Amino acid sequence: MKPWIAIVLLVLTPFAGPASAAEPAEVFTDPAKAGADFLVQGEYEGKAGSAMVGAQVVALGDGNFDVYFLSGGLPGAGWDQKGRVKAAGKTEGGETVVEGGGWSGAIAGGTLAGRTAEGVAFSLKKVERKSPTLGQKPPPGAVVLFDGTSADGWQNGRLVEGNLLNWGVTSKRTFGDMKLHLEFRLSFMPKARGQGRSNSGCYLMGRHEVQILDSFGLTGEHNECGGIYSVKKPAVNMCFPPLAWQTYDIEYRLAAGDRPARMTVFHNGVKVHEETELKKNTTAAPNNTPPDQPGPIYLQDHGNPVVFRNIWAVEMK
């Protein structure tokens, strides 16, 4: 989505998910300027009695939050993918009160404490997880696509914030079978909703999109972070909170004979797709050459600021 003329923006604004057509969604790229809601939102973990519990607190703007209590722990770190209770949070007087699904409590000083629907006391501490592959260095023989020193390897590439790569770029180099390492950072857009909430995408060979989106706390669909757009939802939603650095580690193989192209995807170190067959291109794919042909890496411009770093590829035989 590009701002060609004012009337186009007015028509498209509702789909970007702001609170109203007249109120544009707030966008923050600096945690120091993101406001009080940013300090509350995020991931919490601890115990209810003797049982592990995780919680994801999603900022909605103006001191409002969705809160998801997860049995067993956080996604990829104990959650059983069954127990999920939704509550609402509201900040008043420096304390965020949480209530819903029979659960009640409050967030203050980095702790979410209260009682479950069964009356069991819980106390959860705020945590900031990091992907185990964050900052991973390229192995010998890897093709370094972006290391923070130059954007010359990308069409429309430029350095932003000093040493990061902008969105809406296509690699000048093309690839066949390959492994890709990519690090990305979502912007904080608390008043945006759905596909208007820090949207981008990583297109393998310019044909198949692994979605990039602030879907922190959501169920994990094909069009949410970690999903292969219009093909398959991730095995688990591993999206971290906005402004946290995240990783994709992707193994992609071209179509060969009767077998379609396929990919395996790790999101923040957790396998969310394994040998998923890609029988069609993503609708918005910029490259529609045959699926057995090499292609570039495209990092989508969807109108939201999403930045990238430490991008490299290993070509496979």
Class of domain 34-127: mainly beta
* Residue 93 binned pLDDT confidence (cut-offs 50, 70, 90): confident
Listed by start position, the domains of the chain span 34-127, 143-315
Q: Which two tokens stand for residue 52?
A: 């592990």
pLDDT at 304: 92
Predicted confidence at residue 24, as pLDDT, reads 56
Q: What is the CATH number of domain 143-315?
A: 2.60.120.560
The predicted pLDDT at position 29 comes to: 96
SS3 for 253?
strand
Instruction: Find the largest Cα–Cα distance for the chain.
Output: 64
User: Which are the contacts of 268, defined by CB distance < 8 A and separation ≥ 6?
Assistant: 76, 129, 131, 238, 240, 246, 247
CB atoms within 10 A of CB 118: 9
The yes-or-no verdict on residue 273 having pLDDT over 90 is yes
d(CA 100, CA 78) in angstroms, rounded, equals 22
Dist CA 317 CA 312 (whole Å): 17
